[in-house]
Structure 1
Amino acid sequence: MTNERPVSPLPPALRTLPEMLERQAERFGERPLLRIAGRSWTHGDARRAAAGRAAALAHAGVRRGDRVAVMSSNRIEFLEVFLGCGWLGAAMVPINTASMGPQIDYFLRHSEAKLLVIEAGFVERLPAVDRARTSLREIWVLDAAAEGEAAGVCTRPYPAAREALPPASMQPGDPLAILYTSGTTGPAKGVVCPHAQYYWWGVNSADVLGVDAGDVLCTTLPLFHINALNTFAQAAITGCEVVFEPRFSASGFWASMRASGATVVYLLGAMVPILLAQPEGRGERDHRVRVGLGPGVPEAAARAFLARTGVRLLEGYGSTETNFAIATAPDSARGGVMGWLRPGFQARVADEDDAALPDGEAGELLLRADEPHAFASGYFNMPEKTVEAWRNLWFHTGDRVVREADGAYRFVDRIKDAIRRRGENISSFEVEQVLSSHPCVAACAVYPVRSELAEDEVMAALVAHEGQHIDPAELLAFCESRLPYFALPRYVDLLPELPRTENGKVQKYKLRERGVTALTWDRGAGGRVPARG
């Protein structure tokens, strides 16, 4: 594995979204770029959409440096707003469509968004938003027929584009998006992603996957995450086409890949065991897919997937704060590893004082980039968290890894108190806040346990108030309107007390070691206590 870039990057001044759209429109013109929800763009259309949507945003009072929140499924308006913000100099704030009232309220307050673009089906979640504590001036509603009001704010149907604006004079380090990633010991943090970081996400991902102008990229992942949003950058940079599906369907996956003509696909760890659990069929081979990105896929599942489908899945490592810094390649000597360090990045496996550890010894993975603005610039309105994460000029990933003798990095576990389920990062803190608000719960702890799909399941240990009884099924019903579906605990343990240190801190490692027992309530088993042989 070499550490030299295969192509020369664009000059730093051109690593902005407007420059990228201008350049690609000139190079690729009317070549197909995008298919999504029955609509399509050419490369030239993307530039025109950005300029026209930027004008509509400016007419609504959005200015350079402002934030625009978007809560939408995979549809063309999401990308219009994203490109329009980048063209105008504003920053988009995507909101997970599974978010409920309390989370939406927090994202709007914390980001200080002036405008919210939201699908009509999600408007009913807005009454929980405290308008007086937000900066909202207007709400654009997708699919709405008339003006109205929600959360004390005027709503109007999503307006048409206006006469094109010239692009703002952007710098590569200017914010393009604020992507909220779940906090591990506190509220979610807004990752400030600059223009150049987005550019490098596209360049690095396209390089790992070998994307060229003849490819068709296809993803079922949601646009409010960097994984899917990054596929647009890959297509725009290389001149190929990207297809966004509305959602992941195991039974319909290969049919949608055939219909789209996909040559490159994007999967998360849990998706592959789910696909392998489907009955084998001819459709698994009757497609054009040549390669897939599959971070977190167990080695055995990746081998089985290749044998059944002919598709090799590449591993890799990156986070919303960083970039595609570590990856395997189609000709990698072995599997079972995250990959090797990519050109343009430095990595260190460190002890608790950030001192480098020798190969073969587990420690925290620290990363930094050679290129300016290739990583996020920090956490929005959280200077202390920014300093903590980027201390000593390294980004601290919170992941424990081992660097092998051949330079490969192997994932061991997570240091941070976070849970990853169905491709989503879950804050145990936020789940605990909701559980603790139930009148019967005196104390609780939320932590991950491994599932049969090689990912985390959410487990909660609960202590009831004296004289109270906790009904796990009723408790979960209480949480459904307060938490995203993927954050709902699957397992519940009712305990007389939680293990604690001398100063009262919950010892979650003891709970994780205890895991699922014969007395654990299992939502996945229909709310029954699982039998143990």
Structure 2
Amino acid sequence: MLTPLEVLKLYPPHGGTLASMLRSRAAVANDREFIVYQGRSYTYAQVLEEVRRAAAVLVAKGVKEGDRVGVMSLNHPSSVFAFFALAGLGAVMVPVNPDYGVEEARYVLNHAEVCGVICSEAALPTVQAACEGLASMPWLMLSETAFVDVPDSLAAAPEPLDNPDATCVFIYTSGTTGFPKGVMHSQRSLLTAGEGFVARMHLQPDDRLLCVLPLFHINAIFYSLAGSLAAGATLILEPKFSASKFWQTVKETGATEVNTIAAASSILMRRPRSEYVPGHRLQKIYGAPFDEETFRVFQDEFHVATLIEGYGMSEIPGALNNPFPGPHKVRSMGQPSRHPDPAVSLAELRIAGDDGQFLPPGQVGELVVRTPIVMQGYFRDEAQTRAAFRDGWFLTGDLAYVDEDNFFWFVARKKDIIRKRGENISGAELDRVIGNHPSVLEAAAIPVPSELGEDEILVAVVLRPGMTLAHEEIAQWCRERLAAIKVPRYVALVDSLPHTPTHRVAKFKMREDASLRAKAVDLQAVTS
């Protein structure tokens, strides 16, 4: 196995742009597969040609430096070609969740002021409806046929611009208040994150990275795509995550690495073992959070040797990870991420108190980060951009602590703290503990007003299909595992919980839902 630095040194130096890194990798890996999609593959040389054709098409559409183009599609090679082509033109890709409804899509397309939209055929009606009423009608193009039939008469694409600090992508966060913010990243930020991912997962040129997460997600773009490019490796694009077909896909594609989120890992652990396909080549999984059971199932039953936990946000991708060679601390966020080149510094992290002063190991405060892989700001929102930083440190809004070994540990979102009788209670802890009940599919705890001031705890619970569970049984489960003050007073059994586009529970929507309190059983009233 090559070291991460040896992997990067296989290729000529690049100039910090997507175009320059693609040329660098093609200079050595010209005939190596770069993109694989449903049985079709594109070598590095072929991707260079596809990007040139895509750029010619976009220029013909009038795209110029600084323009924004929306991409609302399931994972597809055309999204990758468009991304590289737009970056070469100095333009910006705005990936949009293809599952968005009309109003959600309209907000993003309008806020980003897109000049055009590339979308899948299935999303076309939503895009057309979303574009109605915009200040100017964007041009529309289908992702399935976007760059297939490029006429010879089309003017040649210009040479890619040489500006590594040019904004190349907006990532719209799901937010905690309802309105997503457009996180802006430069080409340099993206490629540095990709190089960091080579170190994080010890990627090799012959690795085959399976991408089942959507290309509107920071993980898929900054880790899977940019990591594959940085290593000169192969990216296997799947339209979307399919739990029932996952292991068959892993076996058929020869995937060696995959990135997951907690929901996907949990689903796979609970699927029928008859779907598991032995003899695969999958060796490495990146994601979070992983608990002891996740490690046991994936290593012992699914025979995947290495699971790496990490932490990042749309604003600061790849800030922390458990070291690939070890030591590993299960459930931790890991240690500050490193670049393959020790001369290149990546993330610095501290724990800060409410007064902004840094705290010693063991004390809980806000995690703050200083890193070159950082957003340029929120598009059209200078106030929120200013509020996100203090003295050059990005304020994550996450409460955490660092131990004596420099491993960081997540405690809760600052906005996910329930203040009860003078104590801070982590909603995330309650979610995890109640979610571990064998009859529970998903749980989410939120604060509700107390007659005594401060908060009481309300937990909304979705049961697994065919399961029954009394409200009091949930409280008893908590009593056996948590301090008495953390036992919920209100329990609501619901059919589903609201989610953000990145599959997190949308607790801000729950807090706004007055009917949730009405549905809940007051266990204090029942027992009194």
Is TM > 0.5 for Structure 1 vs Structure 2? yes
1:338 counterpart = 2:333 = yes
Q: Match for residue 397 of structure 1?
A: 396
Q: Match for residue 409 of structure 2?
A: 410
Gaps of 5+ in 2: 339-345, 418-429, 460-485, 498-515
Q: Match for residue 200 of structure 2?
A: 208
Give the drift of 1:104: 0.6
Give the drift of 1:85: 0.5
Equivalent residue letter for 1:293:
Y
Stretch of structure 1 that moved more, 196-205 or 118-127: 118-127
3-state SS of the aligned residue for 1:86? helix
Give the drift of 1:251: 2.5
8 Å CA contact 1:51–1:167 kept in 2: the answer is no
Q: Match for residue 361 of structure 1?
A: 363
1:269 counterpart = 2:252 = no
1:245 counterpart = 2:195 = no
Q: Match for residue 430 of structure 1?
A: none
Change (3 A) 1:129 1:283: closer
CA distance in 2, matches of 1:170, 1:122: 34
Given candidates 311, 317, 326, the residue that maps to 2:320 is: 326
Paired positions, count: 447
Deviations 1:367-389 (A, max 9, x none): 111x4xx2110100100000101
CA distance in 1, matches of 2:489, 2:397: 25
Equivalent residue letter for 2:330:
G
CA distance in 2, matches of 1:240, 1:179: 24
In the TM superposition, 1:122-521 aligns within 5 A as 122-126=123-127, 128-129=129-130, 131-142=132-143, 160=150, 162-230=154-222, 231-280=224-273, 283=276, 285-311=278-304, 312-333=306-327, 334-343=329-338, 344-369=346-371, 371=372, 374-416=373-415, 449-450=431-432, 452=435, 499=449, 510-511=457-458, 517-521=490-494
Q: Match for residue 495 of structure 2?
A: 522
3-state SS of the aligned residue for 1:19? helix
Change (3 A) 1:98 1:65: same
Stretch of structure 1 that moved more, 104-113 or 161-170: 161-170
Equivalent residue letter for 2:271:
Q
Change (3 A) 1:295 1:108: same
CA distance in 2, matches of 1:325, 1:61: 37
RMSD: 3.5
CA distance in 2, matches of 1:530, 1:73: 38
CA distance in 2, matches of 1:516, 1:509: 7
CA distance in 1, matches of 2:121, 2:490: 43
Q: Match for residue 512 of structure 2?
A: none
Gaps of 5+ in 1: 145-155, 419-447, 462-492
CA distance in 1, matches of 2:62, 2:455: 48
8 Å CA contact 2:290–2:331 kept in 1: the answer is no
Give the drift of 1:39: 2.9
Change (3 A) 1:78 1:175: same
8 Å CA contact 1:91–1:178 kept in 2: the answer is yes
Change (3 A) 1:518 1:118: same
Equivalent residue letter for 2:57:
A
CA distance in 2, matches of 1:76, 1:188: 26
Give the drift of 1:13: 7.4
Change (3 A) 1:452 1:177: same
CA distance in 1, matches of 2:334, 2:218: 20
Stretch of structure 1 that moved more, 115-124 or 381-390: 115-124
Equivalent residue letter for 1:227:
N
CA distance in 1, matches of 2:227, 2:212: 16
CA distance in 1, matches of 2:173, 2:336: 24
8 Å CA contact 2:169–2:186 kept in 1: the answer is yes
3-state SS of the aligned residue for 2:192? helix
8 Å CA contact 2:26–2:45 kept in 1: the answer is yes
CA distance in 2, matches of 1:16, 1:42: 20
3-state SS of the aligned residue for 2:435? coil
- TM-score, length of structure 2 as denominator length: 0.76
Equivalent residue letter for 2:182:
G
Equivalent residue letter for 2:150:
A
8 Å CA contact 1:399–1:415 kept in 2: the answer is yes
Give the drift of 1:280: 3.3
3-state SS of the aligned residue for 1:129? helix
Q: Match for residue 427 of structure 1?
A: none
Deviations 1:421-451 (A, max 9, x none): xxxxxxxxxxxxxxxxxxxxxxxxxxx9556
CA distance in 2, matches of 1:236, 1:8: 10
Q: What percent identity do the matched residue pairs reach?
A: 29
8 Å CA contact 1:140–1:157 kept in 2: the answer is no
Give the drift of 1:167: 2.9
8 Å CA contact 2:53–2:147 kept in 1: the answer is no
Give the drift of 1:42: 0.7
8 Å CA contact 2:458–2:490 kept in 1: the answer is no
Change (3 A) 1:396 1:519: closer
8 Å CA contact 1:398–1:414 kept in 2: the answer is yes
Change (3 A) 1:127 1:56: closer
3-state SS of the aligned residue for 1:232? helix
8 Å CA contact 2:367–2:395 kept in 1: the answer is yes
Change (3 A) 1:508 1:115: farther
Give the drift of 1:342: 2.0
Change (3 A) 1:273 1:520: closer
- TM-score, length of structure 1 as denominator length: 0.75
Change (3 A) 1:164 1:293: farther
CA distance in 2, matches of 1:507, 1:37: 54
Deviations 1:252-276 (A, max 9, x none): 2111101000111111112222212
Change (3 A) 1:358 1:290: same
Change (3 A) 1:403 1:509: farther
3-state SS of the aligned residue for 1:14? coil
Change (3 A) 1:217 1:163: farther
